[in-house]
Amino acid sequence: MNGDSKQLSATGSNFKDLLIDDFPGVCERLEQSHRLCDRLRIMLEERANVERSYAASLERLARKAKETVVTPDAARPGSETALSAFEGYIGSVMHRAEQSRQLAGDLAGEVVPSLGGTLKQHGQVYQRIRVDGMKLAASLQEQYRLHDETVLRYDDAAQRADHLMRDLAADTTHDPSSRLRLAVTAAEAARLTSGCEEDYRKAVLKVNTERQRFLAHMDIIMDALQDMEVKRGRCFKDALRKTLVYDAAWIRNVEYDLNQAIPGAEAVDPEGDTGQFARDRYARRAEAIKGGVGRATLLEKVEVLPWLRLQQSLHPSKERPDPPGESNRSAGEKSREATVSQYDEFIES
């Protein structure tokens, strides 16, 4: 299809076939898509900042929970299931912080630069194309304006000359001077009409020449604008798809961490932990001698003990030595000692 027979067609899908005479409308479309991509870029930049802030907040929260709750005093036997579940949840929070930081890095390092680079490159090229296209459109519109003005002047002159010729033909006064004046006026109008006709022919030639130039250049411009629009749309699509892939990966990782933490939460045994604490606490207190002489617990029953057993209770690690001169004691002393021993056994029984 050459420039002389260029016609708009509703069967195609190209800018140059459908919108070659609507350059401002095409420019508006490209500017809208540019703003849309730029809004996505700004949103993803802010999203990356939000994810970084979220990760930092989660890390601070997890560290604070570890420092203030899981202390050596708290991590005692008897609360193993609860502490294990709590530590598992803290671990899932830390992993979520890592995933959020990774998501922020992916968005800021992969998606945003691609969008920003495309927008910058297209913006510079579009401005140059827009200037050239507006000049072409303005030049063609100016030729059409001059053509229309010439057509109106030619029409006015031709109508006036036609009326004068009709008046001259219809003159029945037979007045030579009157007919002469009318004939001179009609001849002058005819010459003016002839000049306007020549101007009209020149205007038609100029407007057609400008139209051919417009079509030749605008074909190239429309192809460039459509290619730019398609590429920017693909960039928008790729950026959004990558973002959704990263979001899906973040969700899967969070779900995996939650699946790891859920069994720990389900395994918390309040009754078992409480009972184990009581048993362990009692055992530790029984090992430590507290409350008084020879008592391991505060509520232990107190009994009268023979002196020998009292010594064993007070000094369990010491062996009672034989008194000096044991071999030289008299038989009477040994007999009295045996009597005391029997007496102690009687009292004990």
pLDDT in tens, 194-242: 999 999 999 999 999 999 999 999 999 999 999 999 999 999 999 999 9
* pLDDT of 287 higher than 90: no
pLDDT in the model for residue 335? 54
**Residue 71 pLDDT:** 52
Q: Identify which of 144, 132, 139 has the alpha carbon closest to the alpha carbon of residue 225.
A: 132
State the pLDDT confidence band at 75, using cuts at 50, 70 and 90: very low
How are the residues of the chain apportioned to helix, strand and coil, as percentages rounded to the nearest 5? 80, 0, 20
84 versus 113: the higher-pLDDT residue is 113
Model confidence over 302-320: pLDDT tens digits?
677 777 777 776 666 665 5
More confident residue, 288 or 197: 197
The whole-angstrom distance between residue 331's C-alpha and the CA centroid of its chain comes to: 103
Look up the CATH number of domain 23-283.
1.20.1270.60
Is residue 52 predicted with pLDDT exceeding 90? yes
Between residues 115 and 11, the one the model is more confident about:
115
Judged against a pLDDT cut of 60, whether residue 331 lies above it is answered with no
Mean pLDDT for the stretch of residues 337-341: 52
What is the per-residue pLDDT for 74? 46
Structure tokens at 80: 């193993």
pTM above 0.85, yes or no: no
- Per-residue pLDDT at 247 exceeds 80: yes
143 burial level (CB within 10 Å; 0-12, 13-18, 19+): buried
Handedness of CA 339, 344, 347, 349 (dihedral sign): negative
Distance set, CA 176 to CA 161, 173, 183, 186, 246 (Å):
20, 9, 10, 15, 100
Percent of the chain with pLDDT over 90: 48
Nearest to 286 by CA among 276, 274, 275, 298: 298
293 phi, psi to nearest 5 deg: -65, 120
Neighbouring C-alpha atoms within 13 Å toward the C-beta of 102: 15
- List the helix and strand counts (H, then E) for the chain: 8, 0
d(CA 59, CA 207): 72
Categorize the per-residue pLDDT at 340 as very low, low, confident or very high, splitting at 50, 70 and 90: very low
Question: Which has more confidence, 267 or 240?
Answer: 240
Total residues found in the chain within this entry: 349
pLDDT band at residue 291 under the 50/70/90 scheme: very low
DSSP 212-277: HHHHHHHHHHHHHHHHHHHHHHHHHHHHHHHHHHHHHHHHHHHHHHHHHHHHHHHT--HHHHHHHH
330: pLDDT strictly greater than 60: no
* Euclidean distance between CA atoms 66 and 51, whole angstroms: 22
Instruction: Answer yes or no: are the C-beta atoms of 123 and 34 closer than 8 Å.
Output: yes
